[in-house]
C-alpha cells in the first residue's frame, strides 16, 4: 500500500491549505497594494522636492496644484468626453490590430513560402516608427478618425503577428506529433494545439502590441486634430498652445493611470496563464526565497 506521506521532491511542491478569513484576505490585499503606494509616495516626494528646490519653479507645478487641476477637470463634461473618445479609439484600434495580427501571424507561421516572403517584412513594420505613417494616412483618409485607426493598426498588428509566429515556433514537436496522431489537422490543429501552446508568448506580444498601439494613438491625437471631437490628445495640444503646464501634467497623469490600469489587466491574464500551466507555485517559491517577499501572506503556503 502506497504511503500517504510525501517525501523528496514531491514534498517540495506541496502547497499547504491557505488559511481563510477576513484577516488573511486583508493581508493579501495589503501585500498587493503597499508596493504601489510606496512607489507613489516616492514619486510624490521627489516631485515636491524638485518643486521646492526652485528649479523651473514658475514652469513646473507642484503635485498639490496639479492634482487640484485634475480634480477640477474631472468635474467637466468635456474631460469625460475626451476620455471616452480616447479609450474608444484605443479599444477599437487594438481589437483590429489583434484580429489582423492573429490572422497574418497564423498564416505566416504555418505556410513556409509565405514566411520566406513576408516574415522579415513583419519585423520591419514592427520597428518602423508610427509617426512615419501619419502623412500617408492623412493623405489617404484625410483628417478623420480612420487615419488614426489606420496608424494604430499598423503599429500594433506586427507585434501580435510576431507573437503568434514565435509561439508556434516554440511549440514542442512532441505535442505536434501527439496532436496529429489524435487526428488534428489544419484549423483544428491551429485552434486546439498551436494557439493554446503559444499562449504565454502570445500574451507577452499582446502587451507589447498595446504599448505600440497606445503610443500611436497619442501621437495621432496630437497630429490629427478633428474639429468638435475632444480627446485627451486634443486637450493636451490645447494646453500646450496656452503654455498651461499644470493642465499638461494633469493630462499626462491621466495617460499614466490608463497605462497602469491596462497593465493590471495584463497582470491578471499572466497570473491566470501561470496557474493554468502550473507555473504559479514555482514563481511563488522563487519570490518567497528572496528578502522581503518571504513575509508575503502566500509564502506560508510553500512547504
Q: Which of 300, 262, 272, 269 is nearest to 284 (CA)?
A: 300
Q: Is the pLDDT of residue 270 over 80?
A: no
Confidence class for position 272, pLDDT limits 50, 70, 90:
confident
Set out the domains of the chain in order of their start, with CATH numbers.
61-301 (1.10.3720.10)
Burial track 230-247 (b if 16+ CB lie within 10 A, e otherwise): bbbbbbbbebeeeeebbb
Position 207 scores a pLDDT of 86
- How do residues 134-151 score in pLDDT, each as one tens digit? 999 999 998 899 999 999
- How do residues 71-107 score in pLDDT, each as one tens digit? 999 999 999 999 999 999 999 999 999 999 988 888 8
Report the range of poorest mean pLDDT among 17-31, 35-49, 93-107, 278-292: 278-292
Position 163 scores a pLDDT of 86
Position 285 scores a pLDDT of 56
- Burial of residue 23 (CB within 10 Å: 0-12, 13-18, 19+) is exposed
148: region left, alpha or beta (phi > 0 left; psi from -120 to 50 alpha): alpha
Q: Is the pLDDT of residue 302 over 60?
A: no
Q: What is the value of pTM for the model shown?
A: 0.74
Q: Is the pLDDT of residue 298 over 60?
A: no
Q: What 8-state DSSP symbol labels residue 190? A: I
For residue 84, the Cα-to-chain-centroid distance in whole angstroms is 19
- How do residues 191-219 score in pLDDT, each as one tens digit? 777 777 777 777 788 888 899 999 999 99
Across all residues in the chain, what is the average pLDDT? 79
- How do residues 214-249 score in pLDDT, each as one tens digit? 999 999 999 888 878 889 999 999 988 888 889 999
Q: Higher-confidence residue: 180 or 301?
A: 180
Amino acid at each position: 500500500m502506497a504511503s500517504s506521506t510525501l517525501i523528496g521532491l514531491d514534498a517540495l511542491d506541496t502547497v499547504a491549505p491557505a488559511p481563510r478569513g477576513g484577516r488573511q484576505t486583508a493581508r493579501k490585499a495589503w501585500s498587493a497594494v503597499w508596493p504601489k503606494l510606496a512607489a507613489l509616495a516616492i514619486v510624490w516626494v521627489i516631485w515636491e522636492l524638485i518643486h521646492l528646490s526652485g528649479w523651473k519653479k514658475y514652469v513646473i507645478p507642484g503635485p498639490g496644484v496639479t492634482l487640484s487641476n485634475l480634480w477640477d477637470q474631472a468635474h467637466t463634461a468635456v474631460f469625460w468626453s475626451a476620455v471616452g473618445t480616447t479609450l474608444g479609439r484605443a479599444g477599437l484600434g487594438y481589437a483590429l490590430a489583434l484580429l489582423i495580427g492573429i490572422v497574418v501571424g497564423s498564416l505566416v507561421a504555418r505556410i513556409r513560402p509565405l514566411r520566406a516572403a513576408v516574415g522579415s517584412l513583419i519585423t520591419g513594420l514592427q520597428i518602423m516608427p508610427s509617426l512615419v505613417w501619419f502623412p500617408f494616412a492623412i493623405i489617404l483618409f484625410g483628417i478623420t478618425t480612420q487615419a488614426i485607426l489606420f496608424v494604430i493598426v499598423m503599429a500594433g498588428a506586427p507585434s501580435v503577428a510576431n507573437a503568434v509566429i514565435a509561439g508556434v515556433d516554440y511549440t514542442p514537436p512532441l505535442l505536434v506529433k501527439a496532436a496529429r496522431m489524435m487526428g488534428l489537422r489544419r484549423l483544428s490543429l491551429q485552434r486546439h494545439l498551436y494557439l493554446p501552446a503559444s499562449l504565454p508568448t502570445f500574451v507577452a506580444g499582446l502587451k507589447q502590441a498595446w504599448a505600440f498601439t497606445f503610443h500611436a494613438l497619442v501621437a495621432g491625437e496630437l497630429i490629427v486634430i478633428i474639429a468638435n471631437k475632444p480627446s485627451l490628445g486634443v486637450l493636451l495640444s490645447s494646453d500646450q498652445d496656452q503654455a498651461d503646464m499644470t493642465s499638461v501634467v494633469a493630462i499626462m497623469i491621466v495617460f499614466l493611470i490608463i497605462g497602469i490600469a491596462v497593465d493590471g489587466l495584463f497582470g491578471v491574464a499572466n497570473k491566470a496563464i501561470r496557474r493554468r500551466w502550473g507555473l504559479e507555485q514555482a514563481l511563488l517559491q522563487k519570490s518567497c526565497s528572496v528578502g522581503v517577499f518571504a513575509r508575503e501572506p502566500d509564502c506560508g503556503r510553500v512547504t
